[in-house]
Amino acid sequence: MKAHVKLSLYIVAAVSVLWGVALFMNPRAVHGVLSGGPYDPAATGLVGAAMFAYALLFFIAALNPLKPLVNASAVALGFFTLVAVFLMFLSAAMPRNLWTFFSTLLYLSIGLILFFSTFEFRPTPAIGRYSVSRPSKARRKVAQKRRLTVPGSAGTGRRKTTRAGTKKKRR
């Protein structure tokens, strides 16, 4: 995998670890940054644990950047970004401050980088006569020889000939 994919995954893992550590070290203060609602130690602890799980996912994907792991990381970042954008701008449950805005922007941009880095552009086949790839000349010759030498392999209604019968004598 490319170096920018690994670097992106390491950056996201580091930011997720920082959020997780902050939520475990000083949950009451960080809760005020993430939510405008009343403090709930259980929900704050679960969000901290989820941030550590995210960090672990991104770290494993950075160490072993297989395509399914990178795709799973991009999907996780996409869901996280969608929920954060919904909470910040549509429901107004999450305060719009420097920390939440830049974390969401970082997660969105790296999620898009990961998505487009692993996305394979495949051209659509042309519709019509030549949309299916044709075998090479050598393969066509081999197939033709097999049809001529193997009895009963020619199509119905065709004359079955052998290899010796294909060469005509010249006068």
Q: Is residue 160 part of a domain?
A: no
pLDDT at 148: 67
CA separation for the pair 5, 89 (Å, rounded): 29
Q: Is residue 99 part of a domain?
A: yes
Burial 114-125 (b: 16+ CB within 10 A, else e): bbebbeeeeeee
Q: Is residue 38 part of a domain?
A: yes
- Of the pLDDT bands very low, low, confident and very high (cuts 50, 70, 90), residue 108 is very high
Q: Is residue 163 part of a domain?
A: no
User: Which value, to the nearest 10 degrees, does the dihedral of the CA atoms of residues 60, 99, 78, 47 take?
Assistant: 70
pLDDT at 159: 53
Instruction: Give the pLDDT mean for 81-109.
Output: 89
List pLDDT tens digits, range 115-132: 888 877 777 666 655 555
- Of the pLDDT bands very low, low, confident and very high (cuts 50, 70, 90), residue 151 is low
What are the φ/ψ torsions at residue 170 (nearest 5 degrees)?
Answer: -90, 145
Q: Is residue 52 part of a domain?
A: yes
Q: Is residue 157 part of a domain?
A: no
User: What's the mean per-residue pLDDT of the chain?
Assistant: 81
CA separation for the pair 86, 62 (Å, rounded): 28
pLDDT at 169: 55
Residue 136 has pLDDT above 70, yes or no: yes
Share of the chain above pLDDT 70, in %: 78
Q: Is residue 158 part of a domain?
A: no
Number of domains in the chain: 1
Instruction: Give the pLDDT mean for 44-66.
Output: 91
Q: Which residue has the higher pLDDT, 7 or 156?
A: 7
Model-wide pTM > 0.75: no
Task: Domain of residue 113: give its range.
Answer: 3-118
pLDDT at 105: 92
Q: Is residue 133 part of a domain?
A: no
